[in-house]
């Protein structure tokens, strides 16, 4: 009985896991700097969702929402650099190419409606450069200053 319930539970979890990368299907992933959406999604699950949640909803106690919000930073001066230097991104253990891919994936996966038209995808070199000067204690004030700007509004 218990084993059956466990198997059903695992099956349900397996279905959910298998379905997630499909949420990205139908988009031009490669042109958006996401060579492998499944890898990007796994990297998100392993490195980011503990704080930002699997659906990007965030958590008032740990991290801001990415869903429906994150891409406003692609529309403002300084926003592009901020996303590469924010601590959770810059200090992740991922290599530059996978981190660039993950950040591109996060933008398109969680907030396609706010993406700036023609936003060039992050590349490994750019992310490598940005993460060498990660934001530290000033992350919150940098974030607040960016969001206070008029072009932060969708
Ligand atoms: C320990 C919790 C934590 C983890 C893990 C984490 N983040 Fe964050 N993230 C935050 C917090 C808190 C902020 C707000 C800025 C700050 O104060 O650092 C943030 C901000 C961001 C932002 C800017 C959004 C905004 O509204 O300011 C992005 C993009 C982001 N995180 C992506 C990621 C990615 C991608 C990963 C995984 C590689 C990740 N984060 C891992 C806590 C986390």
pLDDT digit of tens for each residue in the chain (154 aa)?
444 454 444 444 444 444 455 556 556 888 899 999 999 999 999 999 999 999 999 999 889 999 999 999 999 999 999 999 999 999 999 999 999 999 999 999 999 999 998 899 999 999 999 999 999 999 999 999 999 986 666 6
The full set of domains in the chain, from first to last, is 2-152 (1.10.760.10)
The ligand 1 atom nearest the CA atom of 99 = 38
Q: What's the gap in Å between 58 CA and the centre of ligand 1?
A: 9
CA dist., res. 45 & res. 124, Å (int) = 20
pTM score, whole prediction:
0.88
- Taking CA atoms, 142 is separated from 5, 49, 102, in Å, by 48, 23, 22
CA 61 from centre of chain? 18
Angle at 55 between CA 54 and CA 57, to 5 degrees: 110
**DSSP assigned state of 1:** -
Q: Is the CB of 58 under 6 A from ligand 1?
A: no
Tokens linked to 55: 């659906």
């Amino acid at each position: 009985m218990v084993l059956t319930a466990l198997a059903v539970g695992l099956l349900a979890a397996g279905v959910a896991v298998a379905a997630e990368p499909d949420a990205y299907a139908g988009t031009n992933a490669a042109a958006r700097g996401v060579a492998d959406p499944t890898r990007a999604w796994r990297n998100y699950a392993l490195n980011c969702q503990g704080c930002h949640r699997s659906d990007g909803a965030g958590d008032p106690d740990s991290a801001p929402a990415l869903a429906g919000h994150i891409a406003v930073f692609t529309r403002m001066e300084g926003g592009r650099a901020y996303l590469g230097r924010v601590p959770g991104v810059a200090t992740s253990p991922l290599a530059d190419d996978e981190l660039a891919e993950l950040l591109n994936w996060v933008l398109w996966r969680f907030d396609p409606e706010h993406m700036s038209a023609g936003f060039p995808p992050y590349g490994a070199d750019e992310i490598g450069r940005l993460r060498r000067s990660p934001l530290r204690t000033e992350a919150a004030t940098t974030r607040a200053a960016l969001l206070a700007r008029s072009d932060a509004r969708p």
